[in-house]
Amino acid sequence: MGQEGSKLDGEQHEERIVLNRGNAEGTSRLKTTSEAGGAPSERSSDHRSSAASQSARASGSGTPPAGSKGPSSSWMRPSQNRAATATEARRQAALAAANALSKPGAASAAPARRPTTSPSPTEPPLLPEQAAAKAAEQEYQAKMEGSKKELVKKLAVQIKSLSLKDPGAFVPPRPPVAKQSSIKPSVIDGKRSWLSKLTKNKAAALEGMKDKLAKGQYLQPMSQEGVGGRVEESLGAGGNLEPFGTFQGALHDIMQQGVSDDVLDQFFFDEEEERVLPTYQKWQIIRHAAEQVLAVYANRSNSQWIEDESWGPPNVVNTTAASASMYSNAVDSALTQGSVALLFIDDGRLSEMGGDEVSPLVATDLWQAIKELAPHKVPTGQRLERLSVAGRHLLHAAVSVEMWYGAAALKQVKVVLAIDCDCEYFVVNELQQWSFFGLHHSNVIILPLPRFHGFAQDMRSGHLAHVKGSPRLMLGTGYAMFLLNSPAEAYTLSADGTEPQCLQGSVLEWLLDSKASWLYTGLFSDVERLRPEALFDMDFLAAGMAAADRTGANMALEVMMGEREREARLHDSLVLSRLTRNTAHGPSPAAAAALARPSSAGSQHGTNGSAGGAAKDASPTRTGAAGGPVNCNLRVSSMRTVKSYKLLQTTASSAHGFYVATHRYMFSVKALQRMLVDPSAFHADVYLQGFYAYATFDISDLTTFARANCACILGTQGLRAPLMSEVIYGKDWLSYAAGVLQLQDNVKEFRRKAVQLYDHGKAAGAVPGGPSSRASTYKEKQGYNVLLVFTPEHARLVKPAIRIARLFVHNIVDRLHVYLVVPETESKARIRELLDLVQDKELEFSQQLVRDVALRINGASVTEVVAGLLPKVRASMLAIPSERLCPTGASTDLGQLGASSALALARAVTSVPLLIVKANTVGKYLYIPSAAAAGGPSSSLGLGGGERSSNMGGGRSSASALQRSASRLAADSGAKDVVSALVHLDSTTVGPLVEFVSGALAAGSDTMILARTQALERDGQLSMRSRRVFVQARMAVAQALKVEERAYSGTGTAELPKAVEAEGADLLAISCPPDLAISKEMEQLLQICRTSILIHRAMTSAPSGAGAAWS
């Protein structure tokens, strides 16, 4: 229990626990700040207040009270305080009597009054009001003592029945209030400002809809007192309120008065055990026993309505039926027109973050949690971080709709976010930062879910009263549905996300006005829906629409088959059909027999497949209002009595299996508006957090409404239901979620959309406000480092060089280091201008792009500078653009080759692969801007005088022209996303070269051409040695690529240039032995081949995405 010592309303002082050890050490006081508990204790507040008031009076008069020696002795023990008060009262009474008698006519005006009690020589007579108060206090004390004795007796029996006395086993789980400490303090001020702005807007909205409110067509949000009334109503329905309140009130009073060894020993029968156990261990045992006793009455209350009904097997529709498949076109049309809205509900789940830190699941970047708790599950491949769970769901929805139905349909999608009020400000900030994840800002509705304190019995008033210091918890997913028909509870945001606009009505009214007729509902904790193509289950939606037309269903529930009772408990669900109301407790014999035969309606008429009994007789196609069986989703957590458990056990032991809900719903918006008018229709389950009682409502309650007609649809995608048995998700759940996140992050469109939106939000200056995280202990694995160097003369080749170099930077642990090599005399403006050309949105988003400057000090050459950079960045590969390795046949070619930095590096660097990006490439993967547009050596040729004058004075316009040219890279007809690589097989050890190149290509789209020169015999047949080389090369291909073979009879210098031209190759890969200089033939290939050239060294291998990024 988190804060047992908190007082009821009006009592603000801090609680403490007094644990009297009963030995020479005396009395020790322990604060109850831990979640595992302690017992609250303090002297009575009346004692403290009387002592404080007397001290205040003494200090105010300037003289100490009678009998005291000074201000330091003004505090008195309670007994001394009472005696001093009585003496002072007698003195004041005597003075009043003397004054009254001294006045004329006082005797006749105030006749003597008979005392209500026998007079005492030491106490003044009591007035009637005082006597009545004293009698009530004596009655209260007598009642309290009786309750304590009954509680002691009850707990003593419970403790005696416990076979295990290990207090460590009785420590309750960590409550969900610990997450409040994970919010950044810097966000508090912004949150207060936002709430103030929202409150004013809500007041204005309510003022503008007075006429609507007068009609009473809305559900008014619950207050703290209203929630307490629902708890009392739930407990009182089965006669559980009186014993529950008696025990809870007595326990609360014991904690207030202080828990000592004398008090604790009353609960134990074994004297030997009393001497052995320390005081705090005794308290843990008593605490556990008390929670079990209180849980008995809560369980009886929660399962009462289930025991009062008759239950049978559900009527389940198979999505493979012809009636469901006929509605597939209707689903496409509804999604295109925006008739299907999405509702995501925050159910209050938490995620462990390592150590003792937990975080709200909806606001958690799961990769950070996986790094701490399951590092072996972290992939080295694509991994999209910085996205919360809420952001992943929203981005997944936007990408799915846009990919399947286009940008026009994306503008029509309506999304409702039912968010914990503690995470509301974080979600608002995230929507600002990510530009609403591609959704239209006016179509995103935020519905805050409030939190409420727990309740404890007030023995004086006889009612439950909320405890201000108790943890604040949400009321469950059912209350989110409750608020859908509440006025001005939800709001939209402005285009920049800074101004809220409350709805002048309910969310359901807004949906109907927006032409949304269906509400597709799920939980944020449902990680299965993050799988590619899993957010929209077309079969489920089609079957739901078919059931609405053919059987009159107004809601649909996706179910899956269960085989063991454990599955029902894990997913907190058991789907049954409610038969005719039966006031007798428990199911009828016919219904109990039918439970073993779950039905599945596969035909278009939806007939019940069970045989015999009441289930067969009561199976009309139209259910609900007609009085027939209605499918209901029951919470297994509410079935913890003997009779309800028997129902669960009977159903789960069926040889044919049973049905469990996946907590994915489809509601008719009009039907919801008609149903959500009576708050008493929700079942208020009593939930215990420590000793405090809470009310909780579940979305499954809607299936039990009088007007509900729920169609159960059997899921076909094989998606698991969310885990509902745990509040805090730990290592096992995170390990499973890692696989789902990896599948989502591998979708290219998902990553591209995230990168695009993040840049837009970053440019808008949105300030994130997520939960803080402690210092991470995760160590990333060393990835593949590509070093790209360029000089000012390579300005127009920077973008193409980055585009082809990043083929080898496809894992999240890889890095692309781009260095600008300039003389030390270069101006800062020019350096800044050239560095601005180094851009890659996806690499920048993943923090894989590193930009820096290397100066040529004292006239050092580019080769000398690069030699120093290789060990500095731990480069695994070197890339450099080249303008001079493009001979034109002019007389200046020889001078250009002599000054070529790329050729010099090819001769000098022998330890890592070298990639040379040439300006005269014939491939279609790279788009090379013209030298004039890039402001290169020939930029002044062919330009008018105005353009030449604009280029003078720094070259800013030339860089802008290059950026405009490069921005058209993806859209230009000359640039494609398909890579064609020509691999020269010139030796028998071709495996490393082929593996290296194939690892950088994309499976399914890119092409690898295996070329071997001097491969033919004199008769034109392929030589035996060449056959072995081709077989060896194919075996070394790392993934499923399109592989072709080419065999040539001539030498490499004669055949490869022609092959590059014929194939339109984007990359020519050749091999060179390690630590050896390139040959003359290879130098010739660098000059005459019109494509980018990779010189591979056999000592290196390509990065692999299959490993784990942890150490």
Residue 839 predicted with pLDDT over 70? yes
Average model confidence (pLDDT) across the chain: 77
What number of H helices and E strands is found in the chain?
Answer: 40, 33
Residue 813 predicted with pLDDT over 50? yes
Nearest to 592 by CA among 312, 374, 404: 312
Residues 6+ apart with CB under 8 A from 814: 783, 784, 785, 786, 808, 848, 1103
Nearest to 537 by CA among 678, 417, 713: 713
Which has more confidence, 634 or 163? 634
Band of pLDDT at residue 1019, cut at 50, 70 and 90: confident
Residue 446 predicted with pLDDT over 90? yes
pLDDT given for residue 552 in this prediction:
92
Residue 515 predicted with pLDDT over 90? yes
Q: Is the separation of the CB atoms in 1099 and 1074 below 8 Å?
A: yes
* Unique residue bearing structure tokens 């005399």: 825
Mean pLDDT to the nearest integer, 63-70: 40
pLDDT given for residue 243 in this prediction:
83
- List the structure tokens of 1094: 């990779």
Distance CA 531, CA 719 (A): 9
For residue range 685-738, what is the model confidence (pLDDT) as tens digits?
999 987 889 999 999 999 999 999 999 999 988 899 999 999 999 999 999 999
The CATH number of 309-611+619-748 is 3.90.550.10
For residue range 84-100, what is the model confidence (pLDDT) as tens digits?
454 555 555 555 554 54
Band of pLDDT at residue 338, cut at 50, 70 and 90: very high
Percent share of the chain, pLDDT over 90: 45
Phi, psi of 560 (to 5 degrees): -135, 160
424-433 and 748-763 helices, crossing angle to 10°:
100
Q: How many CB atoms lie within 10 A of CB 1034?
A: 14
For residue range 479-490, what is the model confidence (pLDDT) as tens digits?
999 999 999 999
Please say whether the dihedral angle defined by the alpha carbons of residues 176, 177, 183 and 189, taken in this order, is positive or negative.
positive
Q: Is 28 exposed, middle or buried (0-12, 13-18, 19+ CB in 10 A)?
A: exposed
Residue 225 predicted with pLDDT over 80? yes
Phi, psi of 883 (to 5 degrees): -100, -25
Q: Which residues pair with 823 in a beta bridge?
A: 856
pLDDT given for residue 948 in this prediction:
31
Q: Is 977 exposed, middle or buried (0-12, 13-18, 19+ CB in 10 A)?
A: exposed
Residue 964 predicted with pLDDT over 60? no
pLDDT given for residue 8 in this prediction:
42
Which has more confidence, 549 or 1019? 549
pLDDT given for residue 493 in this prediction:
95
Of 420-434, 809-823, 920-934, the range with the lowest mean pLDDT is 920-934
Mean pLDDT to the nearest integer, 805-825: 90
424-433 and 389-405 helices, crossing angle to 10°:
40
pLDDT given for residue 256 in this prediction:
67
pLDDT given for residue 55 in this prediction:
41
Please say whether the dihedral angle defined by the alpha carbons of residues 248, 253, 256 and 258, taken in this order, is positive or negative.
negative
Q: Is the separation of the CB atoms in 295 and 247 below 8 Å?
A: no
The maximal CA–CA distance of the chain, rounded, in angstroms, is: 151
pLDDT given for residue 899 in this prediction:
75
Of 351-355, 784-788, 832-836, 1107-1111, the range with the lowest mean pLDDT is 1107-1111
C-alpha Rg value of the chain to the nearest Å: 39
| Domain boundaries along the sequence of the chain | 1-53+137-171+238-304, 309-611+619-748, 921-926+974-1111
Which has more confidence, 138 or 593? 138
Which has more confidence, 611 or 158? 158
Residue 1 predicted with pLDDT over 90? no
Band of pLDDT at residue 830, cut at 50, 70 and 90: very high
For residue range 395-431, what is the model confidence (pLDDT) as tens digits?
999 999 999 999 999 999 999 999 999 999 999 999 9
Residue 867 predicted with pLDDT over 60? yes
Mean pLDDT to the nearest integer, 110-128: 53
pLDDT given for residue 81 in this prediction:
46
Distance CA 720, CA 1052 (A): 57
C-alpha distances (whole Å) from 788 to each of 405, 610, 791, 866 are 40, 71, 10, 10
pLDDT given for residue 1018 in this prediction:
83
pLDDT given for residue 975 in this prediction:
54
Distance CA 882, CA 894 (A): 15
For residue range 629-656, what is the model confidence (pLDDT) as tens digits?
799 999 999 999 999 999 999 999 988 8
Mean pLDDT to the nearest integer, 837-854: 89
> Strand 1092-1097 to strand 785-790: parallel, antiparallel, or no bridges (unpaired)?
unpaired
Nearest to 918 by CA among 928, 931, 907, 910: 928
Residue 851 predicted with pLDDT over 70? yes
pLDDT given for residue 469 in this prediction:
82
Q: Is the separation of the CB atoms in 714 and 559 below 8 Å?
A: yes
Mean pLDDT to the nearest integer, 523-539: 93
Residue 57 predicted with pLDDT over 80? no
The residue length of the chain stands at 1111
DSSP 64: P
Task: Report the CATH architecture of 921-926+974-1111.
Answer: 3-Layer(aba) Sandwich (3.40)
pLDDT given for residue 274 in this prediction:
56
C-alpha distances (whole Å) from 490 to each of 502, 505, 508, 512, 882 are 6, 9, 11, 15, 59
Q: Which amino acid is it at 639?
A: M
Residue 276 predicted with pLDDT over 70? no
Q: Is the separation of the CB atoms in 1074 and 1098 below 8 Å?
A: yes
pLDDT given for residue 153 in this prediction:
67
Band of pLDDT at residue 452, cut at 50, 70 and 90: very high
